[in-house]
Structures are given as C-alpha cells and as structure tokens.
C-alpha cells in the first residue's frame, strides 16, 4: 500500500499546499505500523527515516519538514528566523518551500493560511495546548487581521471517544466559560469532550470566521490513523502545510 493522505477541503490560495497523512504505506513494524513519522515514540530510527523519505517523495515536498519538539505548550516557531527553533507547538512561515509539520495521535492539528497566499502556519492543539492558549498564540503570532485567515482542523479524537475528568473540563473552561456545550456528562461522572468544537469557539472569538474540517476521528478510524488513547504505544501521523515555490518563468 502506498503513502496516502487527506487534503484540506478549504478555499486556500493556489500556492498553499497542505495534507494530513494516513498511517499506511510505511516501513515500521508493530505497534507502529506502518507510516509512523514520529522519532520520539520508540520506533526504530531507520524506519522513521525511511517513512519520512517516502512521504517526501510521494508528496513532492520542496524540502524536509521542520519537525518540532512538541511539548504541549504555546510557543510558535518562526521558521523564517535565524538560529535554533527550540521546543514549540506551532510553526509559521512566509517563505516558499519551508514545510511546517505537526505530529499527532489524537491531539488536534490545526492549519492556518492567509487569503493573500503568503503566510501559513500549523499548530498542535491537544487539550493542554488549548487550555494554555496555543490557538490564540498562533493567530497573534501571524500579525495579520484574523478576518484574512482561514483555518482547517485535522483528524483528532472525536467526542464519542474522548473522555476527560472534571479537572480537564475546568482547565478548558477557565479561558472559555461559554464552552460548556463541548462537554457531555457520562455515567461515570466524567465528560465526553469535543476538541474540534472548543477549537472552533476559540477561532471564532479571535475573529477567524472561515473554519473547515474537524470531522475525522482518529480513535474510530484505526485503519487510517494512529490513536494514543486507543492503542497506547503507537505511531504518529503528520499534518503539513507549505507555500509552493514558484516555478521558473511563472507569474503569481
């Protein structure tokens, strides 16, 4: 089976490319089978390297993605800056050919693109990142009016499978008191949480009105996605966004 992915269904400018990988088409053995792209989960390094090579070739990536050291925080790495990047949970670029990358296995990957076509970003938004404000930090870092942005919410654990305790609910509602509708109580005294709904609320509050995606559940679709909540030790899929380099002689 070949490397494959889903592409955002959004009206991004023609120079914006983005995708979110499926778990198939790679070289990794169980429990990481097969296109594990994370080098921090215990998989053999040679397998991860080969998986990343296969993805780059299949997607015709213009460069190696910038793989972040994700820590469930709010730092936004400017890939156009000088020096090292350090730990970060979001990345942005205005430079054609630089590939922003987010690794997930249930957390919500979020992509942003400016409708001018000259700016893109990706963010890793699990519940900790949402609670701390990673979406707000990413939108603010872009320094463009939010009305000029569009967002795509990638595959994440859906509300039928994401059970959280009262403490997680409280942390997420601390900065979004109106988000109660994203939590449904269950018979165990806990809550089923909707990460995508919480992300949409935060984006809307910031002024980002064009929001797409958010309907793919990593837990439910075991044939397509890795899920930490479902499997424990497992691989990571990648969500990428970049600006296509201009071809010689082209006008855009």
- Mind listing the pLDDT tens digit of every residue in the chain (252 residues)? 899 999 999 999 999 999 999 999 999 999 999 999 999 999 999 999 999 999 999 999 999 999 999 999 999 999 998 777 899 999 999 999 999 999 999 999 999 999 999 999 999 999 999 999 999 999 999 999 999 999 999 999 999 999 999 999 999 999 898 999 999 999 999 999 999 999 999 999 999 999 999 999 999 999 999 999 999 999 999 999 999 998 754 444
CB atoms within 10 A of CB 162: 21
User: 117: which residues sit within 8 A by CB, 6+ positions away?
Assistant: 12, 13, 14, 15, 16, 243, 252
pLDDT at position 251 is: 47
The residue with tokens 């942390």 is 171
In 3D space, the residue among 38, 109, 125 whose CA is nearest the CA of residue 74 turns out to be 125
pLDDT at position 13 is: 96
pLDDT at position 85 is: 87
pLDDT at position 248 is: 52
Instruction: Reply yes or no on domain 5-243 having CATH 3.60.140.10.
Output: yes
pTM confidence score: 0.95
Angle between helices 134-142 and 195-206 (to 10 degrees): 40
pLDDT at position 252 is: 43
Distance, CA of 5 to CA of 151 (rounded, Å): 18
- Phi, psi (rounded to 5 degrees) for 213: 80, -160
């Amino acid at each position: 089976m070949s490397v494959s992915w889903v592409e955002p269904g959004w009206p991004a400018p023609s120079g914006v490319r983005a995708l979110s990988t499926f778990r198939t088409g790679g070289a990794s053995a169980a429990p990481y089978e097969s296109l594990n792209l994370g080098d921090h989960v215990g998989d053999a390094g040679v397998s991860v390297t080969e998986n990343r090579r296969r993805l780059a070739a299949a997607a015709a990536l213009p460069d190696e993605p910038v793989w972040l050291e994700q820590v469930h925080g709010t730092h936004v790495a400017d890939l156009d800056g000088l020096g090292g990047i350090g730990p970060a949970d979001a990345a942005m670029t205005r430079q054609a050919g630089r590939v922003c990358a987010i690794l997930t296995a249930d957390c919500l990957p979020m992509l942003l693109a400016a409708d001018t076509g000259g700016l893109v970003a990706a963010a890793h938004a699990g519940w900790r990142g949402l609670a701390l404000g990673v979406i707000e930090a990413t939108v603010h870092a872009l320094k463009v009016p939010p009305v000029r942005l569009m967002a795509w919410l990638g595959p994440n654990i859906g509300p039928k499978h994401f059970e959280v305790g009262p403490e997680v609910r409280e942390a997420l509602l601390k900065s979004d008191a109106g988000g109660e509708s994203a939590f449904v109580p269950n018979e165990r005294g806990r809550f089923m949480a909707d990460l995508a709904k919480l992300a949409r609320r935060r984006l809307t509050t910031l002024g980002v009105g064009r929001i797409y995606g958010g309907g793919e559940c990593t837990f439910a679709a075991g044939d397509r996605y890795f899920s930490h909540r479902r499997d424990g030790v497992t691989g990571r899929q990648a969500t990428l966004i970049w600006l296509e380099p201009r071809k010689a002689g082209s006008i855009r």
